[in-house]
A and B are shown apart, each in its own frame.
Chain A
Amino acid sequence: MASASDTAKLKWVGQRGPRPDGVDKVTGRARFGADISTPGMLVGRVLRSPHPHARIRSIDTSAAEALAGVKAVVTSRDFPDLPSEFVPAGEMLVNYRDVSRNVMAREKVLYEGHPVAAVAATDAAIAKQALALIKVDYEVLPHVLDVVKAMQPDAPLLHEDMYTLGVDPVPAKPSNIAKRVEFACGDIAAGFKAADIVVEHTFTTQPVHQGYIEPHACLANFSEDGSADLWCSTQGHFVVRGHCARLLGMSLSSLRVTASEIGGGFGGKTVVYLEPLALALSRKSGKPVKMAMTRDEVFRATGPAPGASVYVKMGTTKDGRITAAQGELCYQAGAFQGAPIQPGAMCAFAPYDLENVQSVGYDVVVNRPKAAAYRAPGGPIAEFAVESVIDEMAKTIGMDPIEFRLKNAAKEGTRAVYGAKFGPIGLVEGLQAARAHPHYTAPLGPNQGRGIAAGFWFNIGGESCANINVGEDGTVTLMVGTPDIGGSRASLCQQAAEVLGIELHKIRPLIADTSSLGYTFLTGGSRATFASGMAVIEAADDVVRQMRERAAKVWEIPVEAVTWEDGMAKPAGSNAGEFEPLSFADIAKMAGKSGGPLVGKAAINAQGAGPSFGVHMVDVELDRGTGKVSVIRYTVIQDAGKAVHPSYVEGQMQGGAVQGIGWALNEEYIYGEDGKLQNAGFLDYRIPVCSDVPMIDTVIIEVPNPSHRYGVRGVGETPIVPPMAAIANAVENASGVRFTALPMSPPRVLKAITGAALPDAAE
């Protein structure tokens, strides 16, 4: 069990060493998804629907197949028609019937950009030409893009067999509402009755893309013996293996997947798009096939975070005790069900110790690309609404926003609406740190405002394997299965070094392919440093045990009489005998003669992930002439449990905040009346760049997670949860206008403030 005093004695955990992937990334040597080539490889391209909703009457690929240079063409006919079956795979439960249809349309196309065919040709120009020769006969159907409109009984229907789950009685007619979920405790009516003040609003958010800089890319190479190799940019190559094997009717052991370096994922690379197509094309052509998306394709055809309509109503007493909290979250799932309504409904009110709660969610399909996970999926949208209402309640009763949150904060022992009780958590510490931070009391100038918001994410553990191979020279290869999307190679090496007692530079990390290591769940849910870390610690413990056994044999004493300290085997006391310590390298050198190679292994299903709470403070300045909101100061305070490599933790905090800033102020998909995306590129889909944001200050709180030896909590997702509310609260403070719709882009802000009474310039 981790405690603050234990972690104070650490040598490697908590240090800011050089990153193991740094040299390759800055020199360009690092190989990302599109950086691998192989002799004889073909170029794969996808034909995508020009319509947001249409029935496919027929597809004629004959002309494309006859084109010189074309080696294979695939459509849905080349994939098995999988039955409806929910399995826990990827970040959310998936239905393979839906997965197969999202990868390649079958009866209908459900969004502009939906794949309908794919070709493999000897070069890109021929592939492009071949796509133009494929004739698809569409019956265009009405489409619906908005979540509220999609829920209406007369909305265009995407799936004729979708009957809403979670309602009683089961509806007689199909609709676009896939599911209703509800979490409740206490007596909501009594709670509102007890309130002196009730605040309620409906909030709307737009879909936003994860914005990873590296588009999806892969290389598939199918052998005539039925086995295949796949190289791809992914957050989870074992999950890719599972999906592709299912979609292509292969055994798991016949498919080896290697994860490339990854240029961002944020949850969006936990699913498959090109990989099954590349494998199918490779199998059909007998050649390796490489595929890479353009940025346009990334926007039109890969999963964003859902847009939403969220109603929140909360009540408080005049002295600041929240008496009731009610929410109704309607999330767009995109073309297939699976919006993150459950986590959204679960975490909406979780930061607060509440007796009376009702949280309802609706999973609604619309004619947009299928939503994919995006950093704390479901959480940011819910917290935007809840933290905005909390801010308004505090203001209404004249209470400091931090004091209001402290009065209601969840603590160790607080039971959330979904039933779990929190263990030790750092929300109170975070709020206290925010209150004590100089940012909180810094003076504001004209047209400036300050906002506060809190948030959290559950974090997860999961299946994780690790191998430690000890070389004869005492250096070590550390093999793990979680692709490194945020510095986990560094943090895992540090944890290994701590247990083994050797110098950090003697450990070389490797992300093993799916044939070289046991099943490891994907990198997501803020789990890599925590769960892979627990596996690494166990594997390192295994090595240490073997080291002690070898020393015991050499000294001819019981293994219980051998201790391990600072990377050395030592006799436990004078009774054990007078022996010179044996170092890690000494024992490694004699491994072959003393019993064989030294390999440490671990295969676990890590439990006990500790939630991470964060508090954000932001100052904005409003340009009343243009409506532009500039972020002029930003502070992120977050509980990391134990920051293994503080620079990486700070990077996660800053990165999440920046993504939240974009979500709050500018990012949205713009569709025309024809259901076609108009801003499928970074020029017009405006994510923040360095010049848009100030230096983001960070404060790391450490309330150890007792389940992890060093107290680690995942940190990657929490920092995207508070920013939208923090910024909306700051804009309200600056302008007197409460924005309930995102993004707060200049045209919207200008329109709102020119119609509102102007507050005094400086307080």
Chain B
Amino acid sequence: MRRIGNAHARATRSGMARVFLTGNLKQLTGGAAEFDIDAHDVRAVLRALVKLHPVLEPHLEEGIAVAIDGEIFQDAWFAEVRADSEVHIMPRIAGG
């Protein structure tokens, strides 16, 4: 199983945000779960992912949350993503 502990170092070196798919999404990409993406906000990240793997589109529209450098955002297209950001695409969080 892939370790994610050193991903931040890789993101810094590449100059692009490092994007990780969690949960089931990586099954849709044939196992690809880590991407270097040049994007300035969440919406740009999602569009880039869909361009790489169009099969992701309905799932990314369904309701996901995004953790940018650890902080969780939901329904926040224009949340800032920096060149050295670590971004995790995760399921939407709810409650009762």
Residues of B within 8 A of A168 (CB): 27
CA distance A91 to B1 in the complex (A): 32
- Residue-wise interface mask of B (66-78) relative to A, using a CB-CB cutoff of 8 A (1 in contact, 0 not): 0101111111100
CA distance A92 to B27 in the complex (A): 22
B90 adjacent to chain A (CB < 8 Å) = yes
Q: Could you say which of A538-546, A555-563, A605-613, A692-700 contacts chain B?
A: A605-613
Q: How large is the interface on A (under 10, 10 to 19, 20 to 34, 35 or more residues)?
A: 35 or more
B22 lies within 8 A of A373 (CB): no
Q: Which of A177-191 contact B (CB under 8 A)?
A: 179-188
Residues of B within 8 A of A423 (CB): 70-71
B96 lies within 8 A of A91 (CB): yes
Q: State the Cβ distance, B86 to closest chain A Cβ, in Å.
A: 9
Closest residue of chain A to B61 (Cβ to Cβ) is: A86
Residues of A within 8 A of B95 (CB): 91, 267, 373, 375-377, 457-460, 524-527, 714, 717
**Residue of B22, B24, B79, B89 touching A607 (CB-CB under 8 A):** B79
Given contacts A186-B1, A607-B73, contact A418 B96 (CB under 8 A): no
A343 lies within 8 A of B94 (CB): yes
CA distance A343 to B74 in the complex (A): 15
B90 lies within 8 A of A93 (CB): no
B73 lies within 8 A of A183 (CB): no
A463 adjacent to chain B (CB < 8 Å) = yes
Given contacts A91-B95, A183-B23, A420-B90, contact A462 B70 (CB under 8 A): no
Given contacts A166-B27, A461-B74, A462-B75, contact A420 B94 (CB under 8 A): no
Residues of A within 8 A of B13 (CB): none
A340 lies within 8 A of B94 (CB): yes
Closest residue of chain A to B26 (Cβ to Cβ) is: A182
Interface class of chain A by DSSP: loop
Q: Which of B58, B74, B75 has the most CB of A within 10 A?
A: B74
Q: How large is the interface on B (under 10, 10 to 19, 20 to 34, 35 or more residues)?
A: 20 to 34
Given contacts A182-B23, A267-B96, A376-B96, contact A608 B1 (CB under 8 A): no
- Residue-wise interface mask of B (25-62) relative to A, using a CB-CB cutoff of 8 A (1 in contact, 0 not): 00100000000000000000000000000000010001
Given contacts A93-B62, A607-B73, contact A346 B91 (CB under 8 A): yes
Closest residue of chain A to B89 (Cβ to Cβ) is: A419
Q: State the Cβ distance, B71 to closest chain A Cβ, in Å.
A: 7
Closest residue of chain A to B70 (Cβ to Cβ) is: A421
Q: Which of A582-635 contact B (CB under 8 A)?
A: 605, 607-609
A181 lies within 8 A of B96 (CB): no
CA distance A225 to B76 in the complex (A): 37
B69 lies within 8 A of A91 (CB): no
Pull 20 A–B residue pairs with CB atoms less than 8 Å apart, ordered by A. A86-B63, A91-B96, A93-B63, A181-B23, A185-B3, A187-B1, A266-B96, A373-B96, A413-B70, A418-B67, A418-B88, A419-B90, A420-B70, A421-B70, A422-B70, A461-B74, A526-B95, A607-B72, A607-B79, A717-B96
Residues of B at the A interface (CB closer than 8 Å) are 1, 3-5, 20, 22-24, 27, 58, 62-63, 67, 69-76, 79, 88-96
10 tightest CB-CB pairs across the interface, nearest first?
A: A267-B96, A525-B95, A419-B88, A421-B70, A373-B96, A88-B63, A420-B67, A166-B24, A342-B91, A91-B94
